Amino acid sequence: MSIKSLLPGSLGFGTAPLGNMFRAIPEEEAAATVEAAWDQGIRYFDTAPFYGAGLSEIRLGDALAHHPRDAFVLSTKVGRVILDEAEDPSARDLGEKGGLFEHGRPNKMVNDYSADATLRSIEDSLGRLRTDRLDIVWVHDVAQDFYGDEWTAVYESARTGAFRVLQRLREEGVIKAWGLGVNRVEPLEITLDLDEPKPDAFLLAGRYTLLDHERALQRLLPAAAAQDVDIVVGGPYSSGILAGGTHFEYQKAPAHIIGKVERIKALAERHGVGVKSAALQFSLAHPATTAAIPGATRPGRIAEDIAALTEKIPAGFWADLRAERLVAQDAPVPAAA
């Protein structure tokens, strides 16, 4: 099914930060952030076992347990099974994302995209989330940033394992939709070329943002739109650098990225526009993108996101971005305020 009809609006809540990404978040702060999202009308929540070795799922499940299950849309991911035995979180091999969840739970994580592991992962997630069903399931991180040169072999194991299981679960009505959740464009391009199985949507993190969108524009987004495969944009603020933070691609931002952000900021100030607003609205302006799911760990951030979605941005700002080649010439921009 088209998830455009499934998702309750263009703004959801990405809960990777609830897995203690970058820092240890107090339980009460995590709970208050989810409640702030709920109070301000957010009804789509995305999580994954990977986020803190199950910590994000546990916290989200606890926070949503007292809300009616039919009132919200829930997605999680498969590809990693969380075990009861312990390991050193800071010593995990996470490809380009080393140390990302070193403050999370110490439970051992095993990468496994087979059919059996997919079913086990879903069952375990249901337990941590304290729910009887999932709406959307994403196949997580079958891409270069985690698996390097081995990524195509990992992708193939997912194609013959997780993809087919999720297609079957969707056909049986157990889940409503499935797709891939990745930080790279190439796995999604390959998937669109498959005869079967056919995903409903993709969760693409960090690749359709103000700072990084040209590759996705070339083939992926037009092809996805042509096949009615909706794109949910993860990381619209590029790991925080577009929202006043210091991270890009989950690491400290390099000098050339900081410089580009400073140029965007200067134009934004000239037009009286918030950079966060420009980033969020840009990621949603393409016909193929249907929702964005920024993450947050502080309750006040939710109101900022909602305000960013509705701020009026003059056409002159986008024209200046194009003139200074800070945005691709063929990238759709929001309708003029």
d(CA 22, CA 90) in angstroms, rounded, equals 11
144's tokens = 């270069």
Instruction: Give pLDDT tens digits for 150-168.
Output: 999 999 999 999 999 999 9
Instruction: Give pLDDT tens digits for 106-152.
Output: 999 999 999 999 999 999 999 999 999 999 999 999 999 999 999 99
* Cβ–Cβ < 8 Å for 43, 322: no
Name the 3-class secondary structure at 125. helix
Query: pTM of the full predicted structure?
Result: 0.95
pLDDT band per the 50, 70, 90 thresholds, residue 88: confident
- SS3 readout for 317-329: HHHHHHHCCCCCC
Phi, psi of 231, deg, nearest 5:
-110, 125
Tokens 């918030």 belong to 274
Residue 273 sits at the vertex; the CA angle it makes with 271 and 276, to the nearest 5 degrees, is 150
What is the rounded average pLDDT of the residues 56-78? 98
pLDDT band per the 50, 70, 90 thresholds, residue 1: low
Indicate the burial class of 66 (C-beta count within 10 angstroms; 0-12, 13-18, 19 or more): exposed
d(CA 332, CA 257) in angstroms, rounded, equals 22
d(CA 235, CA 237) in angstroms, rounded, equals 5
13-14 vs 230-234, strand pairing mode: unpaired
**Which range in 94-98, 185-189, 247-251 is most confidently predicted, on average pLDDT?**
185-189
Q: How many CB atoms lie within 10 A of CB 112?
A: 19
Active-site positions read 46, 51, 77
- End-to-end, the C-alpha distance of the chain in Å comes to 32
pLDDT band per the 50, 70, 90 thresholds, residue 336: low
Instruction: Give pLDDT tens digits for 251-262.
Output: 888 999 999 999
If we measure between CA atoms, which residue out of 133, 107, 122, 130 comes closest to residue 165? Answer: 122
Tokens 């978040």 belong to 25
HSE-CB at 131 with a 13 A cutoff on CA atoms is 29
Confidence check: pLDDT of 277 > 70: yes
The pLDDT value given to residue 229: 96
| Residues near 155 by beta carbon (within 8 Å), at least 6 away in sequence | 142, 143, 187, 190
The pLDDT value given to residue 337: 55
- Looking at 16-25, 179-188, 212-221, 284-293, which range is the least confident one? 16-25
284's tokens = 């949603």
If we measure between CA atoms, which residue out of 119, 107, 109 comes closest to residue 78? Answer: 119
- Looking at 21-25, 30-34, 175-179, which range is the least confident one? 21-25
Phi, psi of 174, deg, nearest 5:
-70, -40
- Looking at 19-23, 144-148, 322-326, which range is the least confident one? 19-23
